[in-house]
């Protein structure tokens, strides 16, 4: 599931796409969203993380999950590791506080405990909508190049004015767009 689809791009460009242009727009949007996900080190779309393992220390009270922000916790189990096997006890998630970074009010009293967590993670809606503008800007620019290339145009003469389309190197996001994206970067300390 993408944040934006070809219909959103067509609406932003005020253009109706053919089937081929729809496929090109979908590919461009998927590439840009993948690049943002890589830059931010977090998933843009909601994803389910299943049985993420965490070694627990005595006195530990917080559990920082790897794919924050956490949207919801599905299951949380704690087990004692002995001889490479573990027996896990499912915990009632309502006994703990769930935050975008993980789980709070965990109290570990001994050595050798491990937690298994299944949860949904992904960008918060407010952050995702802020990134939509950046994606639409870059996608509009890239799609315009595709449309010009498809017509084999190097120059266009309209009503006494002449436009030249110079080949532009590379593609993707401008430096300013990357700066805007990096405001939402997730830093992980391991």
pLDDT tens-digit map of 90-113: 999 889 999 988 999 988 878 888
Number of other CB atoms surrounding residue 29 within 10 Å: 23
Q: Identify whether 188 is part of a domain.
A: no
Return mean pLDDT, the chain.
81
Residue 10 pLDDT? 87
Residues 72 and 166 reside in one and the same domain:
no
Task: Give the Cα separation of 147 and 141 in Å (integer).
Answer: 10
**Tens digits of residue pLDDT in 149-166:** 655 555 566 667 766 666
In terms of domains, do 51 and 38 share one?
A: no
Q: Are residues 110 and 157 in the same domain?
A: no
End-of-domain residue from the set 75, 100, 121: 121
d(CA 28, CA 31): 5
Tell me the C-alpha distance between 53 and 181, whole Å. 30
Does any domain span residue 190?
no
- Asked if 62 and 155 sit in the same domain, the reply is no
Give the pLDDT band (50/70/90) at residue 1: very low
- How far is Cα 147 from Cα 21, in angstroms, rounded to an integer? 8
Q: Is residue 93 one of the residues assigned to a domain?
A: yes
Same domain, 21 and 77: no
Range of the domain at 150: 6-43+128-182
Q: Are 39 and 52 within one domain?
A: no
pLDDT tens digit sequence for 104-148: 998 887 888 899 999 998 877 777 778 888 888 888 888 887 776
Cβ contacts of 166 within 8 Å, gap of 6 or more: none
Domain count, the chain: 2
Give the tens place of pLDDT for each residue, 33-57: 888 888 887 777 788 999 999 999 9
């Amino acid at each position: 599931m993408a944040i934006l689809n070809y219909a959103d791009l067509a609406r932003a460009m005020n253009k109706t796409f053919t089937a081929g242009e729809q496929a090109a727009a979908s590919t461009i949007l998927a590439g840009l969203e993948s690049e943002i996900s890589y830059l931010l080190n977090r998933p843009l779309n909601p994803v389910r993380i299943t049985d993420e393992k965490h070694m627990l220390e005595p006195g530990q009270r917080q559990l920082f999950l790897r794919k924050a922000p956490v949207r919801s916790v599905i299951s949380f189990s704690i087990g004692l590791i002995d001889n490479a096997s573990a027996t896990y006890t499912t915990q009632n998630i309502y006994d703990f506080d769930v935050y975008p970074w993980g789980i709070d009010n965990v109290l570990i009293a001994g050595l050798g405990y491990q937690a298994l967590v299944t949860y949904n993670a992904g960008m918060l809606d407010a952050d995702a909508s802020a990134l939509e503008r950046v994606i639409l800007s870059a996608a509009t620019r890239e799609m315009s190049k595709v449309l010009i290339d498809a017509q084999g145009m190097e120059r266009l003469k309209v009503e006494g004015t002449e436009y030249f389309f110079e080949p532009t190197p590379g593609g993707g996001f401008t430096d300013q767009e990357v700066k805007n994206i990096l405001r939402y970067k997730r830093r992980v300390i391991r």
